Amino acid sequence: MATLKQIRQRIKTAKNIRQITRAMKLVAAARLKKAQDKVLEARPYSDKMHEFMLSVSGGGELPAHPLLERREVKKYAVILVTAERGLAGSYNTNLIRRASDFLKEKVGEAVMVAVGKKGFQFFNRRGVNVIHQVTIPTSGANLDNAVEVTRVATRLFTSGEVDAVYLIYAKFYSAIRQVPQVVQLLPIEPPESEGSASGPSKEYKFEPDPTELLGILLPKYLLTLTHQALLESTASEFGSRMTAMTSATDNAGAMISQLTLVANRARQAGITKEILEVVGGAEALKG
């Protein structure tokens, strides 16, 4: 059985851990609020871009463009968005598991672009060809990161190095719910409306001409998808970290209470033993 000194040392350690996890929880909560605001602010723009692409694709067959070119998928790239650090609950684990399942299911040779250190460390040690790594700032992903990811994806696809590019990230719903998503970035597939299969296609007059319009629209659409995914991932990471640190803080508090109770009992038992020894010694002297 542990001595009173050992129990008190455990209590001190648990208090130090609780102080750290509480601080991490507060930092994550503050960053989550900012990240959540960014997600909500960016969603209307993303929805409008989606709506615009839907309208353009409803005008009939789109002209040829490098980002629309469909090829037989012999080699593909996976862009995996994870965190730079751990202590975020199951956030990184769920994303890595989803990416592993996707690599097993998808036929063809795979290369990876790792956004965040955790995904890079896991797959690099397991023989996956990680051809590029993007480091995310502590405060979360920004537009520069989205531009870098989009540039790498575009270069890989348009050069013919890969035939498709997929993005794996966590979609943010709440601080306790983040769902891994797999979306195809390239080739860009124009969104389809629910009634597009039965309804007649609309006719549009483009100004400027469709080729020039797509040259402007498609790169922006691709950047919008990537930026939105990174914002969702940032909010998901902070939400998962805040939840994990809240749980860790509560568990540390429960452990401190339990150890304090054990320490009090041990101290009381020691005092009782000393009293009995004194009384026993006194009785022996009387005899």
For domain 4-25+248-286, the question of CATH label 1.10.287.80 is answered with: yes
Instruction: Count CB-CB contacts under 10 A for residue 272.
Output: 10
pLDDT at residue 199, rounded to an integer? 47
pLDDT tens profile 85-134? 888 889 999 999 999 999 999 988 999 999 999 999 999 998 899 999 99
> Which stretches does DSSP call E strand in the chain?
75-81, 109-115, 129-134, 164-174, 177-186
Peptide bond connecting 208 to the previous residue in cis, omega within 30 degrees of 0: yes
pTM: 0.83
Q: Class of the 28-193+203-242 domain? A: alpha beta
Annotated domain spans of the chain: 4-25+248-286, 28-193+203-242
- Our measurement of the distance from residue 231's CA atom to the centroid of its chain's CA atoms, rounded to an integer in Å, reads 10
CB neighbours (10 Å) of residue 11?
18
pLDDT at 276: 80
Q: Which positions of the chain have pLDDT values less than 50?
A: 195-200
- Neighbouring residues of 67: CB distance < 8 A, sequence distance ≥ 6: 154, 157, 158, 186, 187, 188, 218, 219, 222
Give the pLDDT confidence score for residue 113 in this predicted structure: 94
Report the DSSP pairing between strands 75-81 and 109-115: parallel
Give CA–CA dist 153/165, Å, rounded: 7
Determine the pLDDT at residue 167.
95
